[in-house]
Chains A and B, each alone.
Chain A
Amino acid sequence: MIRGILASLLTGISLTAAPGLVSQVPADLAAERAAFADWLAHSPVSPYAAVSAAPLDASGAGIDLGGRAARIVERNGAAWLEGAGPAHPLPRNRPTPVGGTTVLVTGDPPRTRVMLFQPGRSSASPAYYPFDPAVVFTGTLTPPATPGSERVLTPDGIEVEATFAGTVTVPLGTTTTLRVLRLPDPASEESSLEIYFRDRTSGAGSYPAGRFVTLAPIGGGRYRIDFNRARNPFCAYSSVYPCPVPWRGNLIGAPVAAGERYQSHP
């Protein structure tokens, strides 16, 4: 079985489409995009609503509650809100309303980060390249030679310990082998298999630092990689977020004119 996985090579699937409908966005992808646009416009922790992000240390981070100054400090590994009534601990990875501000404490000590969000920002929908059925691939994942991990930034700029999940090879330009990392979700037992990649559109239509694309399991140990689902890190929406450094080796020597484009946001 291992040998079979090692022998894996991703091959493009030949999606058939009626003439004239080639660029029509499939219903499931359209629904995903609509849900994301709605989340961007309305979630209290949308990157459009982000107003600040600061590392949290013993000296704490200031927070302005409508002219009243409060502080968030870290003690014994927990974040505490002080100056807004009795001091109380703030949950990690769960948005907490404090006055008209939403506070999100993320990351693990000693790299805890405090983010503040306020409503009333942009609600612009993301822009996408036309749907391209030629950049939808299915195949298997070649596991890494040895297990390992490295610290990377998630799309929302949180530093996590990501495990090496393997590589995939895609027939884009010259055949390109891309590294896949498993990013844990700090708020649950779930994780996602991600490729953070750059291509010839990076900085020329798509976000300069790169884009994320997720491997979706389709059964039998196989995955779908759909570059129409390539998406920007949150630093593309707001300068509040730190930008992930491009992952070593994940450079596609061809334009991937699919998925999310880059447009500057107010």
Chain B
Amino acid sequence: MIVAALLLSLAPPPASPAGSWRAVLDLAGGELRFALTVRPTGRAFRGSICNGRSCTLLSGIRVAGDTVVLEMQDYAATITSVLHGDSLTGVYHNVGNRGPRTIPFRASRGRWRIEPASAELLGSWDATFVTDGRASPRVLLFSNDSSGFIGGVITNTGDYGRFWGRAEADSFRLAHFDGSFVYMLTGRLDGDTLRGVFHAGRSTQTPFTAVRSTGRPHLASPTGMTSADTSAPFRFAFPGLDGRTVANTDPRFRGKVVLIDVFGTWCPTCHEAAPMLADLYRRYHGRGLEIVGLAYEVTGDTAVDAPLVRRFQMTHRVPYPLLLAGTSDVASAAATLPQLRGFTAFPTSIFLGRDGRVRLVYAGFLGAATGPQHDRQVAEFRATLERLLAEPAR
């Protein structure tokens, strides 16, 4: 019995996924690298996935024997893996209507090396993505920070979030994986031109070329894409998380400047925008600013959507009301806000003057990954609010 007890005391403890992991999704175009961190919290685990310093919390981690399941509830996605020594091997799985959408996953213990890029790659690039002979513009922003080489990809309606990766001589590989979007940018500097491929999902590949930004506009203006009927006050009336309807005609909005945030909890860019909006609210509420978030969620079922919006509210400490406005497709949002024309993007910010009429519609949001362009957008939001708040109430 003593021997048995001794043996038990010498037996290795059950393997734990806690720690830092060098994680990879194996795409058709090569490995997409990201960082996975798992922390023990009592008998359970919490974790996050990171692209450089930009991290997304996992909604849950389930461990049963040597099986480790990483859950991303907002995106109905999971990574199911088997823990064997210092490796995790498994599959990323996302919802699919035509069949399973799976991408092989693997990870080994440790942290990725910090590999900054040389000066030749850094800066702003005007890119042209080409699909079957059709071109569309993007702007690529490359820089270095304490995590290494980082980047952003800006479209006409926003950006794809923080990219992180590495450069070797004149070649580069940057990726963004947040549990929902699977993006990778690979390429090399060829003379004065970047030539590469944008990867989406496991196997969609779009070639691109890019030249140094000249300062001339390469993308459509975010304030020129969506317009609105300004002949009457902008109307909205949707239930809040407590079930009570909040409408533009409520006394709290009378004579106020109102910023309407059209968002969804499934939208990573909307998560990025939330802290800035909360800051604007705290900065300007005393001078007459109200902010309302209109949530367009996946199901349209309050029982499912309300907890997700409540979690969004708590995560970002949102101090303004969030309303359940509809479902997440563009057509649905456009249908519930019939005074908008050309609604295209989540998030969209609608600025109302003190008379309740639309003064500006800003499509998309440029996240922190876009560096100076993000800073410029924040400055534009503040300047717009300062201008509207300075106008007298009628």
Q: List the interface of chain A (C-beta within 8 A of B).
A: 35-36, 38-39, 43, 45, 75-79, 81, 88-97, 104, 106, 108-109, 143-144, 146-147, 154-156, 163-166, 182, 185, 187-192, 216-219, 234
Contacts and interface: CB of A to CB of B under 8 A. Distances in A.
B200 A190 contact: yes
A47 to B, nearest CB: 10
Interface string B347-383: 0000000000000000000000000000000000000
B96 A91 contact: no
Contact of B203 (A108, A163, A216): A216
B326 to A, nearest CB: 5
A182 B300 contact: no
B97 A95 contact: yes
* In the complex, the 3 A-B pairs of residues with the closest C-beta atoms, listed nearest first: A147-B133, A76-B335, A78-B335
Contacts of B205: 217
Given A45-B97, A92-B327, A216-B28, A144 B203 contact: no
A144 B133 CA distance: 9
Given A76-B334, A88-B301, A163 B97 contact: no
B208 to A, nearest CB: 14
A163 B329 CA distance: 23
Contact of A188 (B99, B200, B331): B200
Contact of B332 (A45, A91, A154, A156): A91
A191 B204 contact: yes
Nearest to A155: B98
Contacts of B299: 91, 94, 96-97
Nearest to A234: B98
Contacts of A35: 91, 100, 102
A219 B29 contact: yes
B60 interface: no
B298 interface: yes
A262 B21 CA distance: 44
Contacts of A109: 331
Given A36-B99, A92-B332, A95-B97, A190 B201 contact: yes
B133 A39 contact: no
Given A91-B327, A217-B29, A190 B300 contact: no
